[in-house]
Chain A
Amino acid sequence: MAQPRRIYMDHTAGRPVDSRVVEAMLPYVETLYGNPASLHSYGQMPREALEQARAKIAELINAEKKESVIFTSGATESNNMAIKGVALRNQNRGNHVIASSIEHMSVMNPVKYLKTKGFDATFLPVDRHGFVDLQSFEKAVTDKTVLVSIMYANGEIGTIEPIKAVSKIAHGKNAYLHVDATAACGQVPINVRDEGIDLLTLSSNDMYGPKGVGALYIKQGVNIEPLIHGGGQERGLRSGTENLPGIVGFGKAAELVKTEMPAESERLIRLRDRLIKGLLDVVPVSFLNGHPTQRLPDNVAVRFSYIEGESILLSLDLQGVSASSGSACTAKTLEPSHVLLAIGLKHEEAHGSLLCTLGKQNSVEDIDYVINVMPDIVKRLRKMSPLTPKELRE
């Protein structure tokens, strides 16, 4: 059998670094290794590069000034910093924290941690598309609410949340709004000032920058407690010598995204819709997870009844396609994804989910190849499954 083609459709899990980003980073790996904190000339270029990168990130999200951007080791640290940092520093404003029930674990778990430290926490329900329930939100938010954390968009089902409306409600009770934009950054335009965002998490790799670097935007006037104490880098909010090659790469990635996002997102939406329609057309008893239009350009999340996600992934991998699933069997825990359960799927429905996240290197041919191999994969697994109704077995 000829070696099948290799198609990568797991961009939410990891992205290649753009070659222009690598090129921008290399001098800071090889020759410009000085510490930005040093006064001598070796420190000067890195110091300037650090501030240029900061300005590029600020520009991408329309921050009021570059100093509002703090570099971190990635989205997990940014989310931890925002949630624990705001809650611990602003206890005079209240002790109640709100998050949606489909947040990433790096938001869910810091909120749960705060609960063990005496804070109250509310996890808001979402509807079947994954939109946060604004009525529940209005009821849950009180004068004691210090922080609300709602993601810009969910990477597992693609749903883009109504951030402006969320912000209005949060600010009505004087609560700060933190938005995790890890899955959204680089795909949809984000405007922190226009959308009323007080803190915003960004990830470099999700914009084809290097891994191990991210940022937290903190609006001027919002005070937070640092998580990492030390030499006082990043305005004392995040100590530790800056990851300069990573930060320079992140800055370059943000610059590229700013100019290339409109066209690339439009292209991805065409590929996305072609794959969704193709899969739902060729596979009987299949469904879309998330909303048809209010969704991230790269996100194709579907589910096939009566079969299990890991088996689908293994079968796809044998055909050269790398994708993902919200199934328990692909994760470290045995429960299906909390996101899929939160949108109301039954366990066995959640187990049959397939997540394809598209990227720059994916072409129309890739999409058609996946649509082409899927019916036989599903047919074979359904033939094996005791859950499959008679009429679908042959």
Chain B
Amino acid sequence: MSMYTEKVMEHFKNPHNMGEIPDADGVGSVGNPVCGDMMTIYIKVKDGRIADIKFKTFGCGAAVATSSMVTDLALGKTLEEAMSITRASVAESLGGLPPVKMHCSNLAADALHAAIEDYHKRQKEAKQ
């Protein structure tokens, strides 16, 4: 299936950081079943950096590959650096995505941002 780059297929075949973190510090879920893509990103934060990250994805090849790629890009980064990862930078790191996939299946950066926001929210609640 040549619609995807080799890089996308590599990540689809052997996704990195797939799974759950039961005691995650932040969890972000995006997507909806109507367009067929749902992602959840789990993060562990240590000293302001993403110390561990895992994903779960229901979706097409692009959805799986972008999830895997975003965990690679975010692991070890400060939360601020991780927030600057965008849909475009994820797609670029994969050597591009088919145009039809840019919108619906390229949600991984959104899930990452949601997980970081969840982490901040939990921190704030813990302080109160």
Contacts and interface: CB of A to CB of B under 8 A. Distances in A.
Interface of A: 306-311, 313-314, 317-318, 327-330, 332, 334-336, 346-348, 351, 383-387
A334 B35 contact: yes
Contacts of A348: 33, 36, 58
Nearest to A314: B61
B127 to A, nearest CB: 29
Contacts of A314: 1, 4, 9, 12, 60-61
Contacts of B4: 314
Given A307-B58, A384-B56, A351 B33 contact: yes
Contacts of B59: 308, 310-311, 329
B84 to A, nearest CB: 25
Contacts of B35: 328, 334-335
B58 A385 contact: yes
B34 interface: yes
A297 to B, nearest CB: 28
B15 A384 contact: yes
Contacts of B33: 346-348, 351
Interface in B21-48: 29, 33-40
B64 A383 contact: no
Interface string B4-15: 100001001101
B105 interface: yes
B126 interface: no
Main secondary structure of the interface of B (DSSP, over half): mixed
A384 B57 contact: yes
A336 B37 CA distance: 12
Nearest to A386: B56
Main secondary structure of the interface of A (DSSP, over half): helix
6 nearest A-B residue pairs (beta carbon) = A329-B60, A310-B60, A348-B33, A386-B56, A351-B36, A385-B58
Interface in B71-128: 100-101, 104-105
B104 A334 contact: yes
A327 B36 contact: yes
Contacts of A330: 60
A346 B63 CA distance: 20
A348 B4 CA distance: 23
Nearest to A322: B1
Given A308-B60, A329-B36, 16 more contacts: A306-B58, A308-B58, A311-B12, A314-B12, A327-B60, A328-B35, A328-B36, A329-B60, A329-B62, A329-B63, A329-B101, A334-B36, A335-B35, A384-B56, A386-B29, A386-B57
Given A329-B105, A383-B18, A318 B58 contact: no
Nearest to B36: A351
Nearest to B1: A317
Contacts of B63: 308, 311, 329
A348 B31 CA distance: 12
A261 B3 CA distance: 36
A387 B58 contact: yes
Nearest to A327: B36
29 contacts: A306-B58, A307-B58, A310-B59, A310-B61, A311-B12, A311-B61, A311-B64, A314-B12, A314-B61, A327-B36, A328-B36, A329-B60, A329-B62, A329-B63, A330-B60, A332-B100, A336-B36, A346-B33, A348-B36, A348-B58, A351-B33, A384-B15, A385-B56, A385-B57, A386-B29, A386-B38, A386-B40, A386-B56, A387-B38
Nearest to B68: A384
Nearest to B32: A347
Nearest to B100: A332
A333 B59 CA distance: 15
Contacts of B38: 386-387
Nearest to A351: B36
Contacts of B62: 329
A314 B9 CA distance: 9
Contacts of A318: 13
A322 B39 CA distance: 27
A311 B60 contact: yes
Given A314-B12, A347-B34, A384 B18 contact: yes
Given A329-B59, A385-B57, A387-B58, A308 B1 contact: no
A306 B33 CA distance: 10
Contacts of B39: 386
A334 B99 CA distance: 13
